[in-house]
Structure formats: C-alpha cells, structure tokens
C-alpha cells in the first residue's frame, strides 16, 4: 500500500508539478483563440520554463515525463475536436474515441517533451534560451515530417497575432517559433539578468517589426471576381444518398446564379465518385463555364489507376471555357481518414466512414490557370484541407512551379469537427501560408470559415460559420517570391542545427 508521501510523488516528482504543467499546457492552447494570442502564449511559456528550470533536483530522464505532461495538456485541449469526427460522425465507441484522441495527443507531446531536454542538458545559463529554441525548432520540423507529419497546433501560426509574424516571409513559421521560445525564455530570465534580458527582448521584437517593412511580392493586373459557395451541410448527411442528391443540386444551382472569373465550391462538395455523379452534371457545368466565361473549381471524389487497381482521390476539378478539364489530387493525405497506415485496418473499421483509403497525388501538380481576356492570366496553387498545414511543401511547389503562382486556394470541409475551434485553427494556418508566400488566398469551406485573405494574411472578407451563403468578392493577384519560398526551412534549420552542435561541443569542454 502506498504511504502518504509516495501517493504525492511519482518518480521523485510532486503531483502538484504534473498538475501545474498540464494546466499551463491547456492554458497555452486556449490562449491561441484569444486576441493577441501570440503575445499571451509567450508569457505563459515563460511560466513553463520557470517550473522546469527551477526543479534542480529532477534528473534528466524525469524532464521527459514533465515535458510530456505539459504537451498532453496542450494537445488534449487543442485537438479535442477529433472526438467529434470519431464519435459523432464516425460512430466510434466513446471510450475508444477518447483513447484515440489521448494517444494522438501523447504522440505529438513527445516532441515537446524531447525539446525541453535542452534545459537540463545545457544547464541553466545565458545560452540555454538559444539552445532551447533550436531544439524546439528541430523537433517541430520532425513533428511535421515523421510518419507523414502532424504539425497541427504549432506556436508559429499563433504568431500571426503575435510579435514575430513579420519574420515569416523571410524565414518561415519555424523562425517565428524560434523567436517565440527564445523571448519566453528571456522573460523567465528577467529575475536574474534584467538588463540583458530586456535588451534581448526589445531587440528581437524591434528587428521583427522592422522586417515587416520589407515587401517581396507586388500586385499585377486587375483584380479577379470570385464567388465562394458555403453549403453548410452536416457531415453525417454526406453518407445519405438522398441528402447527397440535394447537396449536388444545391451547388449546381448556386453556381448558375451568377457568373464570375472564378467560382469555387468546397472539398467533396460533390461527395460522390466522379463517374457516379448524375448523368450530364459535369457537361451542364462546363456549358455554363463556356457561356458565362466563368472558371469553376469543384470539390469531388476522383478515380485513378494505381498499383492497387482503381482508387479514389480527393480531387479538385477545374472547368474553364473551351479548355481541357483541370485536375488536382490531394497529395498529403490524412492518416486514418484518407489512407490506412499498415496494421491499422481494425481502427478504420471501427471508424464507420466509407472511402478511407485514397490514392495521393504528386507534389509537382501544375497550378490552375484563371485565364482572362486582355488581362494577364492568374495562376493559383491549390491545397485541399489538411495540406494547408505544410508550409514547406507549399513553398517548394510554388518555387519549382513552371508557371508563376499568383494566388493560393484552399478547399476544405471541416463539418467533420462540428462547432469547435478547428476552423479558427485552420484559418490561422492559411493566414501564415499567405504571409510566408506573400500571396492572397481564397478559402472555400463547407461550414466555415470561408474567407478572402490578403497577401499579408489579413482577413479581407469572410462568411459567418454554419450558414449557407455565398461570398462574392474581388481578389488582386500578386507576383514575385518571398525569401521563404526560395529558401524554405533550410536557413532556420541550419542555424538551429549549428547552435545545437555548438552547444554540445561547449558542454563537453566545460
């Protein structure tokens, strides 16, 4: 039987420390949804370093557990909406749904936990903040890469409402993360090094703000007219054949309401394989495009031949006047939702959703051409839902595109996640992508947040969530490339790796 002392401690750590770090993680996740969330997160992070750095009696191996508890608090709160898709939409057992969310949160929390090793490993000195920031950047990069990557809920996108957003066009979101962690450490250090910490904080914020004066892309030609149709159809209706018919009829009718240079409907707005859509539907829409000189982007289920035979794809189909049909197949698929990792068929079978094993498109698909008479063509890079998370992949696509990319388009369906913060989280990701690339963006969604973003990520126009409406707007195309599009994550990763190598060498010497 445990005595009163052992019941309050685990591996030499008082239970209160676990509770404190879990709560701080949860508060940092909640802060992302607040105005000036990027500033608030930095202040709260400084409290995390205070709790970790002041536990002098805790050996290195126990930092792993403490960091894990912090990450759990952060990701359980930030990703709870996955329960809605698993249980409410997918019909999975409640206990199994909760366990799935907890296990995913535990996995991504591992990266946070490993990053905190920099505090005890490099000792508590004036260099620790740089090494902690470098460690955090490396782990965040790996989190977005290993097992296809899941970089959702990073600190970078929240910096759109923080002090370091202007750095994104130059060094990308990971650089924003580096500076956020570094500044939070310097706030913690104020108690020991007031003058140097104040100077450091003021310097990085001032330099970041001055970086916002640099402009790398510029408008060209006349703006294009766009119509973004938000159907607001519940996800459960997408598996009902009668409801599918009504949904298809709605979007087809809305498209015909008014011409525009570009009309977009959301991801899988036609939730049926293309070859099984109502006879003549695509031809009917193509005729409208020809007559009205409108370009259409349709979210539907495509089909392609792979090594497995015939497979479905998550597809955006483009119809232009008197032009071949354009196709973009989603390249970065969602594990379990769109492809089945080896050995996890049992999990997908418990998650009662049809078409859960899609084929992925290539990473070098061409942009969509929005051709205009007497005006230069506008080329749009398309992402579908989850792909908006991967800034490095999008930057590489734009940089290597044979045609200059002038506009970003994200087609998504977040009805899977009900009334949660998932939509605002993805909006911030889209804002960061616009900021990194210096390009405006269109977000066509089923339930929200349908919006038009400026080249600096600012929301210019948007529709209320969970309403059936159409957003009509003018969008200015931009030309040029930001340094981040050209360099990608190479500079910040190189700096971080060199810092860690230097820190390890220095540690061995002293």
Q: Which helix (H) or strand (E) holds 453?
A: strand 451-453
What would the pLDDT profile of 255-289 be if each residue is shown by its tens digit? 999 999 999 999 999 988 888 888 889 999 999 99
pLDDT at residue 63, as a whole number: 78
User: Would you call 43 helix, strand, or coil by DSSP?
Assistant: helix
> What band does 318 get if pLDDT is binned at 50, 70 and 90?
very high
Please choose, from the candidates 212, 174, 162, 155, the residue with its C-alpha nearest in 3D space to the C-alpha of residue 456: 212
Mean predicted lDDT score pLDDT of the chain: 88
* Catalytic annotation, pick one of 238, 295, 330, 360: 330
pLDDT at residue 406, as a whole number: 97
Q: How many angstroms separate the CA atoms of 227 and 470, rounded?
A: 6
pLDDT at residue 3, as a whole number: 46
pLDDT at residue 198, as a whole number: 93
Return the higher-pLDDT residue of 94 and 167: 167
pTM: 0.91
- Find out whether 481 and 398 touch, Cβ atoms under 8 Å: yes
pLDDT at residue 5, as a whole number: 47
DSSP states along 293-325: T-EEEEEEEEEEEETTEEEEEEEEEEE-TTSPP
Mark whether 295 is an active-site residue.
no
Name the CA radius of gyration of the chain, rounded.
Answer: 24
Q: Among all chains, which residue has been given the structure tokens 């109502």? A: 278
Q: Quick one: what percent of the chain has pLDDT higher than 70?
A: 90
Alpha-helix residue ranges (DSSP H) falling in 126-172: 128-143, 168-171
The mean pLDDT value for 156-175 works out to 96
What would the pLDDT profile of 436-484 be if each residue is shown by its tens digit? 999 999 999 999 899 999 999 999 999 999 999 999 999 999 999 999 9
> What band does 147 get if pLDDT is binned at 50, 70 and 90?
confident
What would the pLDDT profile of 289-304 be if each residue is shown by its tens digit? 999 999 999 999 998 8
* Catalytic annotation, pick one of 176, 385, 436, 481: 385
In CATH, what is the architecture of 218-481? 4-Layer Sandwich (3.60)
Mark whether 330 is an active-site residue.
yes
Q: How many angstroms separate the CA atoms of 158 and 37, rounded?
A: 6
The C-alpha angle with vertex 159 and arms to 157 and 160, in degrees rounded to 5, equals: 75
Q: Where are the domains of the chain?
A: 6-214+496-509, 218-481
* Catalytic annotation, pick one of 157, 267, 387, 436: 267
Mark whether 176 is an active-site residue.
no
- Find out whether 392 and 173 touch, Cβ atoms under 8 Å: no
Kindly state the tokens that stand for 49. Answer: 């370093």
- Find out whether 73 and 25 touch, Cβ atoms under 8 Å: yes
> What band does 341 get if pLDDT is binned at 50, 70 and 90?
low
> What band does 494 get if pLDDT is binned at 50, 70 and 90?
very high
pLDDT at residue 82, as a whole number: 87
DSSP tag of 339: B
pLDDT at residue 57, as a whole number: 59
């Amino acid at each position: 039987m445990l005595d009163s002392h052992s019941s309050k401690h685990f591996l030499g750590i008082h239970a209160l420390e676990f509770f404190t770090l879990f709560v701080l993680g949860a508060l940092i996740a909640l802060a992302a949804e607040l105005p000036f969330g990027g500033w608030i997160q930095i202040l709260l992070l400084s409290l995390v370093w205070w709790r970790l750095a002041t536990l002098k009696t805790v050996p290195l191996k126990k930092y792993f557990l403490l960091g894990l508890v912090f990450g759990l608090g952060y990701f359980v709160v930030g990703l709870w909406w996955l329960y809605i898709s698993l249980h409410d939409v997918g019909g999975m057992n409640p206990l199994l749904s909760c366990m799935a969310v907890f296990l995913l949160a535990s996995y991504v929390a591992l990266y946070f936990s490993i990053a905190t090793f920099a505090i005890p490993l490099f000792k508590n000195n004036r260099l620790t903040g740089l090494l902690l920031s470098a460690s955090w950047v490396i782990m965040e990069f790996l989190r977005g890469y290993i097992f296809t990557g899941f970089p959702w809920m990073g600190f970078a996108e929240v910096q759109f409402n923080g002090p370091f957003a202007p750095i994104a066009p130059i060094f990308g979101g990971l650089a924003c993360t580096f500076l956020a962690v570094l500044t939070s450490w310097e706030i913690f250090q104020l108690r020991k090094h007031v003058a140097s910490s104040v100077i450091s904080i003021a310097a990085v914020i001032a330099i970041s703000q001055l970086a916002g004066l640099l402009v790398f892309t510029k408008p060209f030609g006349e703006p294009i007219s766009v119509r973004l149709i938000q159907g607001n159809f519940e996800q459960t209706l997408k598996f009902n054949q009668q409801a599918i018919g009504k949904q298809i009829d709605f979007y087809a009718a809305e498209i015909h309401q008014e011409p525009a240079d570009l009309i977009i409907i959301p991801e899988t707005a036609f939730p049926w394989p293309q070859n099984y859509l109502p006879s003549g539907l695509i031809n009917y829409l193509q005729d409208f495009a020809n007559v009205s000189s409108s370009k259409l982007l349709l979210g539907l289920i495509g089909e392609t031949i792979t090594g497995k035979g015939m497979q479905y794809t998550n597809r955006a189909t483009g119809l232009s006047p008197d032009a071949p049909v354009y196709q973009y197949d989603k390249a970065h698929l969602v594990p379990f939702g769109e492809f089945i990792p080896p050995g996890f068929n049992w999990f997908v079978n418990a998650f009662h959703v049809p078409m859960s094993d899609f084929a992925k498109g290539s990473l070098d698909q061409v942009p969509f051409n929005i051709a205009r008479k007497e005006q230069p063509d506008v080329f749009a890079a398309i992402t579908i839902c989850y792909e908006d998370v991967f800034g490095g992949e999008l930057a590489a696509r734009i940089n290597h595109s044979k045609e200059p990319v002038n506009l970003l388009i994200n087609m998504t369906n977040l009805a899977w996640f009900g009334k949660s913060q998932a939509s605002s989280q993805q909006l911030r990701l889209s804002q960061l992508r616009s900021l990194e690339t210096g390009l405006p963006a269109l977000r066509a969604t089923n339930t929200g947040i349908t919006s038009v973003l400026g080249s600096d990520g600012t929301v210019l126009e948007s529709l209320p969530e969970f309403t059936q409406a159409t957003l009509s707007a003018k969008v200015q195309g931009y030309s040029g490339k930001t340094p981040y599009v050209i360099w990608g994550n190479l500079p910040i990763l190189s700096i971080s790796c060199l810092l860690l190598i230097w820190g390890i060498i220095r540690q061995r010497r002293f």
